[in-house]
Amino acid sequence: MKINKFLKLRDFQKIIIENEKIELDEVLLDRVNTSFQFLKEFSKNKVIYGVNTGFGPMAQFKISDEDTHQLQYNLIRSHSSGIGNLLPKEEVKAAMLARLNTLSLGNSGVNDSVIHLLKELINRDIIPLIFEHGGVGASGDLVQLAHLALVLIGEGEVFYKGERRAAKDVFGIEGLEPIKVEIREGLALMNGTSVMSGIGIVNAYKASQLTEISVRFSCAINEIVQTYDDHFSEALNGTKRHSGQQIIAAKMREYLSDSKLIRKREDHLYTHFEEQEKVFKEKVQEYYSLRCVPQILGPVLDTLEYTERVLENEINSANDNPIVNVEEQHVYHGGNFHGDYISLEMDKLKLVVTKLTMLAERQLNYLLNSKINEILPPFVNLGKLGFNFGMQGVQFTATSTTAESQMLSNSMYVHSIPNNNDNQDIVSMGTNSAVICRKVIENAFEVLAIELITIVQAIEYLGFQDKISSSTKSLYDGVRNVITVFSEDMVMYPYLEEVKKYLKAM
């Protein structure tokens, strides 16, 4: 893929998930070099933040010409101070691509060696070690991006061919040279929202998977219960003016189009009843977790769509400081590195994913509670009642995991703590928000894995294999490749992990 200026989220997916290689367009390189040469001339005899001044609250200190290059190295090394868990490889790779793209816009005044080396690291799958903890998301992902910059100057550590190794050694093996620090390469690499955006892009991709999976599971449960079709009808959902709701309902109609189990209300309840019939044998309408799926997943879809738009805008924006403007022959100082846009979207995304998880947990409970569904044995137990336990044990896991996500849904966006000698007096906590959102997404996959095993066990009990829709049948067949039908009690945790992997690969 040739990189020029505007990257779509689908481009990230091709590069990060599908490992497509990237090339640099000549127009891009010309733009970067023009910006670099302009800043080199413009900064002579002027005070430019981060070029010939200290950083943050120490910007009042002038740096002598002979120390300006060392200043950049000092910044990178001093801020390589992350700790905690390492970010997953795919998130770091997304952050590297986001940083490459924003620096390529020509608003940062960097030497093109930065762009070339980032490209090589991405293409050769050399992944810097970046830690979860460290950034407050105000001057961007300062600490996390410092670890990226550290590798670019030939220091720090990377993951290379499955091993954790010194960057210096890997550069030697691969014949790579560290970047040339010329004017402000250290600050340009570190001032920005690329890590929170990179995590966010991976989160959005997985949240999209979860939404589609949740729709299909909801359809399967509606089949198991042999529900009526009016709650996902076009006529009913068209009376509410929310596109997400209407799209979810349309997906349900598509997935259930060839089901032999879904019923029409006019064939059953819209018929003559004897006056003496006071209690109906059939449910007039289903529980909310079955009947309100378009209204519950609709906001999830709408939120995800807006989050993707914000992420796409951010990765194609100059989120640096200062901003170099070659056209106007000027350098502007401001706060484009502030991460509030991403922080808010990650808060919103984790909120709706938690609601999706809550829906799955309630649907699971519906299947497991024989007093509610009235068609399945307790805990969908295909063995001997009282002696065997069915899905009883895994419900505890689903419930506790859902509860954790509910707690994690508290906002980071409004959890600002001033720091940096109060220079950063209001911060975004964007990286924290993105990391917590990822945790909520992982939790959702775990709860949905439990729900899916329960769904296929229920289909097994009812003997509906030849009546379910083709969508549900593909889920049934997929899970049966991982876990066969069971009536005897067995250790479940290996199967939960395998089904979770199956869902992630869908």
Residue at 342: amino acid letter: I
Q: SS3 of 290, please?
A: helix
Q: Under a CB-based contact definition with an 8 Å cutoff, are residues 148 and 99 in contact?
A: yes
How is residue 384 annotated by DSSP? Answer: -
How is residue 428 annotated by DSSP? Answer: -
Q: SS3 of 166, please?
A: strand
Report the C-alpha gap between 288 and 251 in whole angstroms: 18
Q: Under a CB-based contact definition with an 8 Å cutoff, are residues 103 and 33 in contact?
A: no
Q: Under a CB-based contact definition with an 8 Å cutoff, are residues 86 and 131 in contact?
A: yes
Tokens of 497: 């992990």
Q: Under a CB-based contact definition with an 8 Å cutoff, are residues 205 and 17 in contact?
A: yes
Report the C-alpha gap between 342 and 228 in whole angstroms: 41
Q: SS3 of 181, please?
A: coil
Q: Under a CB-based contact definition with an 8 Å cutoff, are residues 247 and 215 in contact?
A: no
Tokens of 356: 């999706």
Length of the chain equals 506
Report the C-alpha gap between 18 and 108 in whole angstroms: 29
Burial (0-12, 13-18, 19+ Cβ within 10 Å), 194: buried
Q: SS3 of 24, please?
A: strand
Bridging pattern class, strands 127-128 and 131-133? unpaired
How is residue 51 annotated by DSSP? Answer: T
Q: Which residues of 430-458 are buried (b: 16+ CB within 10 A; e: fewer)?
A: bbbbbbbbbebbebbbbbbbbbbbbbbbb
Residue at 167: amino acid letter: A
Report the C-alpha gap between 134 and 67 in whole angstroms: 27
Q: Which of 473, 479, 469 lies closest to 503 in space, CA to CA?
A: 479
Which residues are catalytic, by number? 49
Residue at 174: amino acid letter: E
Containing H/E element for 421? none
* Dihedral sign for Cα atoms in the order 206, 497, 360, 263: positive
